[in-house]
Amino acid sequence: MNLLNETHNPALRSWLASANTSGCDFPIQNLPFAVFRRRGSAEAFRGGVAIGDQIVDLAALAQTALLGGDAQQAAQAGSQPKLNALMALGPTAWSALRLALSRLLREGVAQQAQLQACLVPQAVAEHDVPAQIGDYTDFYTSVHHATNIGKQFRPDNPLLPNYKWVPIGYHGRVSSIGVSGQAFARPRGQVKAPDADVPTLKPSQRMDIELELGVFIGTGNALGDAVPITEAESHVFGICLLNDWSARDLQGWEYQPLGPFLAKNFASTISPWVVTLEALAPYRVPFTRPADDPQPLPYLDSEANRAGGAFDIQLQVGLQTTRMREAGEQDAAISRTSYRHAYWTLAQMVTHHTVNGCNLQPGDLLGTGTLSGPTLDQAGALIELTQGGKNPVALPNGETRTFLQDGDAVVLRGWCEQPGAARVGFGECWGTVLPAR
Amino acid sequence: MNLLNETHNPALRSWLASANTSGCDFPIQNLPFAVFRRRGSAEAFRGGVAIGDQIVDLAALAQTALLGGDAQQAAQAGSQPKLNALMALGPTAWSALRLALSRLLREGVAQQAQLQACLVPQAVAEHDVPAQIGDYTDFYTSVHHATNIGKQFRPDNPLLPNYKWVPIGYHGRVSSIGVSGQAFARPRGQVKAPDADVPTLKPSQRMDIELELGVFIGTGNALGDAVPITEAESHVFGICLLNDWSARDLQGWEYQPLGPFLAKNFASTISPWVVTLEALAPYRVPFTRPADDPQPLPYLDSEANRAGGAFDIQLQVGLQTTRMREAGEQDAAISRTSYRHAYWTLAQMVTHHTVNGCNLQPGDLLGTGTLSGPTLDQAGALIELTQGGKNPVALPNGETRTFLQDGDAVVLRGWCEQPGAARVGFGECWGTVLPAR
C-alpha cells in the first residue's frame, strides 16, 4: 500500500499556473502518464506526464541533466513510443520519477526554465494507447451490475452462486482497443428476436456502453508463480478510464456457453492518461463486505486490503448526441457513481488472476467490469439505466435514448476529490458510434 | 482456395534422402514453417522450413543468391525471430517461397551444395512460439464435443440453440502459450464440490487436455472491415497442433456467466511447425451439413467453402505416464479422429470473427476448439473419453487414467495421407503436467 509522502501535500503549488487552478484534473499531486506527440506531426510517440494544461516530455527531460538515479532511468524508459519498459521497472523507479517531477515543478525551484523547455501544451498533443498490451482481461467486480444484468435474464435468481466467491473475469480483445477519440462503425452481427425462428445478420440495435476503469500491470510474474495479495498492488502501474462498448443484442444470442465475443471485440476505448496508485493514495477507503455475505477466501484477504484496498474514484458518464453537438451543447451526464462500490478490489483481481500460475506481463490491461453503484441511476450501462430499453433516458434538449444512435458520442470522466487532499483527475475518455458500413 | 500445382506432385523426390522415407512428416510436398536455433546456443531464433530430418535456415538462405523476387522477400521476412513479417506478406509471397524451395530441394538440381550449407539438423534444434501472437481466440467447432460436454451439464438439452447458427468462440490467454515441450505446474484454483457449502482453493483434480488445431492468421484486416468468406482463406498463413489444457473442476465453478478463465489460461501448447494451407490443398474435402440441420447464413456460405472448405487431417492423442517413461515405453494412443468432422470450417471462423469489424492481425492464433469425432473413442478430451471421469481409460501397461496425474506427458500428432498424394505431417506437440507448487 502506498503511504502518503511529500508529493501528496495538498499545499504544494506549481510554478505552472494552470496546474493550480480549481477543478484542474492534473495538479502537481497527480502526475499521470500517457504517450503523446504533436498532433498531425511525424514525431515519434513518447511518454509524457500531465501537469496543468501541459505535458512534461519524458524524452526531452531524459536528455537534460535534471534527473539522476532511478528517476533518470524511469524517464529514459518512458521515452519510448510505449510505456512497457517504464511499467516493467517497478514501484521504486515510478516513485523516484514522481518525487523528482514533484520537486522540479514546485513554485520557486531554480530549474524552472530548463523544465519549461520540456513542456508541450496538451492542446496540441495527440495520444496513442499507452502500452503494447499483451493481454486484456475484463473482470465483473460490481455486484450491482451483476445483479442488474442478471435480473434481466433470471428474475428469480439474478446473482449466480459463484459471484460472491470468485472475482469473475474473462479474456477480451486487444487489437481493437483504442485511445480516447476512437470512432467506430456500429457492428453487425447475428441477432435473434425471442419470437423469431432463425437469426439474422444485421447492425446492432442495442449499442451500449460500459463504464469501467482499466488497470495497467507494471511488473509481471513468471508463468507458474502466483502473486500473493500482499504483493499484488506492487504489480500495478496505474489506472485509466475504460469504455467497454457492448452490442447487447449480439451478446444475448452468442454468449452461451463461452461468454461474450463479437458483442465486445469491435472496440474498447481507454483514456490516454494513466493515474498511478501512488497518486491515488489519499483516496483509499476500507474494503468491506456486508455482514451476511461470505468473506473472501484467505488467498483474497489481507489486512491492508481490508484497511484500504478500495478507492473512492468519482465516475461520470456523459452523452452528446449529434443534435447537441450541432447546437454547440456540451454532453449531458446520464450516470454518476464511485469505484468505492466495487465488490472486489484491484489487489484481489491481480491475485485471483495469477493464483493458477497465469503470467501477467508489463502493459497488460485488466478491466474492472461495469462499475454500477447501488442505485439504478448510478448504473454504468444503458441496459441498466433504461431497464433493458424499457425506460428511456431523458436528455436536456428533449431527446431520449434507450440505446446509442449513430453519431452519439460518450464521454467518461473520473476524479478524486475530498477536503484535505488535492484533486486527482483522469481526464476524459471519448468515443463515437458511426453508422454501420 | 489453393489449387494443386507442381509443388504437390506426389512423384517429387528430394536430394535429401530423409525426406523421401515412408511415413516422414516433412517430405518435399509439405515445407512447413517454424522458428528455431541450435539447442542451448545463444543464436537468435529465425525462421526455418522442415525438409526430412533437416531445417532450411531462412536467414542463411536469404544471404545466398539462390532466390529472387517474392521468394527472396519472403525468406528475408522469415529471417526474424518471429514469423509475423512473413505472415503479413500474404499468399503470393508464401507461394513463391514454397515453389522456389520445392525446386531447389528436388533431386538433380545444380544448387544442392549451396542449399545444403543452409541446413540445420532437426535433432539439434530448439523452437520458440513461431509468432508474436497479438490475440488468441478459441472456437468450438466440433458439434460432437459441444454435445458430449453439454450432456454432462444438461442431459436433456445438451446443445444450446445458438450452436448450429453461430461459430461460437471466445478470447483466450496469449501470455501462457508455449511451444511443444512445455511443462507446467498443475494449477490451483477455487473448486466447489456439488455437496459442499463453500469453495476451497486447491490444486486441480480434473486436469484435462483439448485436442485442437491452431490457425495462424497471415494478412490482417483493418478495424471495421469485415472479411467476406470468399476471401477468408487468403488471410490464413497455416495450421499447427494445439493442446488447450483445461482444469475441469476450476471450469465448472467459474465459467458462468462469462466463460472459462483460470481453467484455461495457465498453459496452452502448440507444435513448432506451421503447415501452410497450400500444402494441405490435396486434403480438402467438401463441407456438408446434415439435411435436417440449418444451413449456414449467407455470410458464412460460399461455393468454394461447400466444395472444399474442410480438411481431412488425421489427429491422434498419445499419453505417456511416468511409469511408461521410466520403463522406456512410448506413449499410448488414447484417441484418434479427423478434422473433417468439424461443424464449422476455418473460413467460417475467420469470416464470423470479423463480421462485426473486429481486426485480425498477422500472427493472431485461432483455435478450432476440441476436435472430437462422432464416436466417444474419437473424443479430444478426457472428460469425454471417460464420461466425466466415470469410465477410466486403460493403458497398455495396466495403468488407468480418468484425468491427468503429475508427470503425465501428452503428445498430439497430426498428418494427412491418402492414395495419390504425398503425406503431409504436423510433427508432434508435447506437454507435461508437473506437481502443483
Give me the interface pTM, i.e. the ipTM: 0.97
**A12-127 and A136-434 in the same fold:** no
pLDDT lower than 70: segments of chain B: 1-2
Give the mean pLDDT of A9-15.
Answer: 98
Helix (H, G, I), strand (E, B) or coil at B50: strand
Q: Which of A250-264, A384-398, B149-163 has the lowest average pLDDT?
A: B149-163
B166 close to A (CB below 8 A)? yes
> pLDDT band at residue A157, thresholds of 50, 70 and 90?
confident
A362 close to B (CB below 8 A)? no
Q: In whole angstroms, what separates CA B243 from the centre of its chain?
A: 8
| Beta carbons of A358 and B175 less than 8 Å apart | yes
First-to-last alpha carbon distance for chain A, in angstroms, is: 48
| Residue pLDDT, tens place only, B187-207 | 999 999 989 999 999 999 999
The residue length of chain A stands at 437
The residue written with cell numbers 524524452 in the block is: A59
Q: Would you please indicate which residues of B are annotated as catalytic (active-site) residues?
A: 145
B182 close to A (CB below 8 A)? no
| CB nearest to A166's CB, from B254, B353, B356 | B254
Domain ranges of chain A: 12-127, 136-434
| Nearest CA-CA partner of A405 in A378, A432, A383 | A432
Is-contact B262 A356, C-beta < 8 A?
yes
How much is the pLDDT for A2? Answer: 66
| Residue pLDDT, tens place only, A182-217 | 999 999 999 999 899 999 999 999 999 999 999 999
How much is the pLDDT for B184? Answer: 98
Tell the CATH topology of B6-127.
SH3 type barrels. (2.30.30)
B260 close to A (CB below 8 A)? yes
Give me A280's grid cell: 491515488
Q: Would you please indicate which residues of A are annotated as catalytic (active-site) residues?
A: 145
Q: Is the dihedral of CA B322, B326, B331, B332 positive or negative?
A: negative
How much is the pLDDT for B156? Answer: 81
d(CA A256, CA B163): 9
CATH code of domain B136-434: 3.90.850.10
Helix (H, G, I), strand (E, B) or coil at A57: strand
Phi-psi region of A138 (alpha: psi -120 to 50; beta: other; left: phi over 0): beta
User: What is the H or E stretch that residue B153 is in?
Assistant: helix B143-153
Which residues are paired to B57 by β-bridges?
B48
d(CA A174, CA A410): 21
Which chain A residue has the Cα nearest residue B255?
Answer: A258
Phi-psi region of A52 (alpha: psi -120 to 50; beta: other; left: phi over 0): left
| Beta carbons of B199 and A169 less than 8 Å apart | no
**What are the residues whose beta carbons fall under 8 Å from the beta carbon of B75, sequence distance 6 or more?**
B58, B61, B62, B67, B97
| Beta carbons of B171 and A172 less than 8 Å apart | yes
Is-contact A172 A136, C-beta < 8 A?
yes
| CB nearest to B199's CB, from A165, A188, A224 | A165
How much is the pLDDT for A1? Answer: 59
| Beta carbons of B170 and A169 less than 8 Å apart | no
| Nearest CA-CA partner of A174 in A134, A128, A215, A209 | A134
Pairing verdict, β B177-179 and B268-270: parallel
The whole-chain average pLDDT of chain A stands at 97
Residue A110 has pLDDT above 70, yes or no: yes
Pick A12-127's CATH classification: 3.20.20.150, 2.30.30.230, 1.20.1250.20, 3.40.50.150.
2.30.30.230
User: What is the H or E stretch that residue A251 is in?
Assistant: helix A248-254
Give me A139's grid cell: 473482470
| Beta carbons of B224 and A162 less than 8 Å apart | no
| Beta carbons of A200 and B258 less than 8 Å apart | no
Q: Which of A155-164, A367-376, A390-399, B26-35 has the lowest average pLDDT?
A: A155-164
| CB nearest to A356's CB, from B134, B198, B262 | B262
Residue A153 has pLDDT above 80, yes or no: no
The residue written with cell numbers 487436455 in the block is: B209
Give me B423's grid cell: 503425406
Residue B436 identity: A
B193 close to A (CB below 8 A)? no
| Residue pLDDT, tens place only, A308-338 | 999 999 999 999 999 999 999 999 999 999 9
Is-contact A368 A168, C-beta < 8 A?
no
B164 close to A (CB below 8 A)? no
Rounded to the nearest 10°, the torsion over CA B77, B79, B85, B86 is 70
| Beta carbons of A173 and B358 less than 8 Å apart | yes
Which chain B residue has the Cα nearest residue A362?
Answer: B175
d(CA B286, CA A52): 64
| Residue pLDDT, tens place only, B223-277 | 999 999 999 999 999 999 999 999 999 999 999 999 999 999 999 999 999 999 9
* Percentage helix, strand, coil for chain B under 3-state DSSP, each rounded to 5: 25, 30, 45
Residue A368 has φ and ψ, to the nearest 5°, of: -80, -15
